Amino acid sequence: MARSVLVEKIPLLVGGYGPGPREEEAKQAKPNRFVEMAKAEASKDPNQILVFADAFDVFLQQPVDYIVDEFVKMDVKVLYSAEKNCWPYIKDQESIDAMCSLFPGDPEMIAVYAPDPSPKWLNSGAMMCRASDCAQWFQETMSNTPKYHAENDQARAYDLCIKWGERCKLDYREKIFKSMWISLDDMQYIGGKYVNVKTNTTPAFMHFNGGMPEFSSWEGKVWNRKTNVKLQNIEFHENSFYSAGYEYLCSKFGGFPYRD
């Protein structure tokens, strides 16, 4: 994601690269790291809008003004990406029965996607909020212990989002975030960007969650071959760590050809 963010001249703070724990440990530690980052940013400007997102399987295809405008229109404290998979609850029937019905989805989007599933469940790989709200959110995430799959960062966010009610919403219409798992057919490459032909929206952040091999080719088609931006002058958070997910993806898919 770094190069596409720099193309749009958006300040980038890396919080997940450097020596440290393996991937599962890293995901469990994520809320703790993010609360410190959010508090630091809130001390500078509590109203600034922050995006927390995965990196090696995400690219950006909209300018910052679009992202800010769409977020402000939604009038919400915390906004998460929506996906078509009720993860991690699909691991067992008890948690499916208890949790998967708690996000009803957007009725209009359910109709648009029918008979296929619509994006109606939280994906923790992309979210945004104002700095002060982010600090409160991640602080509560740390103290919140859900009944099911408490070891999973997505389950913690899912559970807390339900408790926050209207203060936490999902981007059901995918104006800002698009989770691509079982969603490739939703998108068409039109005018240099990927457009969701189901919703007629052009999401800002494209997230190829689940280790999808299509990421590199889709990313390159949008912006990489049009620019020669270098990965330099990137700020790293002091508690950033190296994610084993990068090792895994590079070994599985032959590396990332667009990374310097």
The mean pLDDT of 188-192, rounded to a whole number, is 92
Tokens found for residue 223: 């912006």
pLDDT in tens, 22-80: 455 555 556 677 888 899 999 999 999 999 998 889 999 999 999 999 999 999 999 99
The DSSP element (H or E) to which 253 belongs, if any, is: helix 244-253
Reduce the DSSP state of residue 146 to 3 states and report it.
coil
Domain spans of the chain, in order of start: 2-253
The DSSP element (H or E) to which 97 belongs, if any, is: helix 93-99
Q: Can you tell me the distance from the alpha carbon of 182 to that of 85, in angstroms, rounded to the nearest whole number?
A: 9
pLDDT at 228 (0 to 100): 47
**Which range (6-10, 20-24, 80-84, 146-150) has the least confidence?**
20-24
Q: What is the mean pLDDT of the chain?
A: 82
The DSSP element (H or E) to which 49 belongs, if any, is: strand 49-53
Q: In sequence order, what are the beta bridge partners of 50?
A: 129
pLDDT at 259 (0 to 100): 32
Q: Is the pLDDT of residue 248 over 50?
A: no
Q: Can you tell me the distance from the alpha carbon of 197 to that of 3, in angstroms, rounded to the nearest whole number?
A: 26
Label residue 245 by pLDDT band (50, 70, 90): very low
Cβ–Cβ contacts within 10 Å for residue 251, how many?
A: 9
Task: Please state whether the predicted TM-score (pTM) of the whole model is above 0.85.
Answer: no
Closest C-alpha to 56, from 245, 223, 253:
245
pLDDT at 185 (0 to 100): 96
The mean pLDDT of 201-207, rounded to a whole number, is 96
pLDDT at 27 (0 to 100): 55
**Which range (133-142, 192-201, 233-242, 247-256) has the least confidence?**
247-256
116 or 9, higher pLDDT:
116
Q: Is the pLDDT of residue 253 over 60?
A: no
Q: DSSP labels for 214-244?
A: THHHHHHHHTGGG----S-S-EE-TT----H
Task: Confirm if 206 and 59 have CB atoms less than 8 A apart.
Answer: yes
The class (CATH top level) of 2-253 is alpha beta
Q: Is the pLDDT of residue 203 over 60?
A: yes
Q: Is the pLDDT of residue 97 over 90?
A: yes
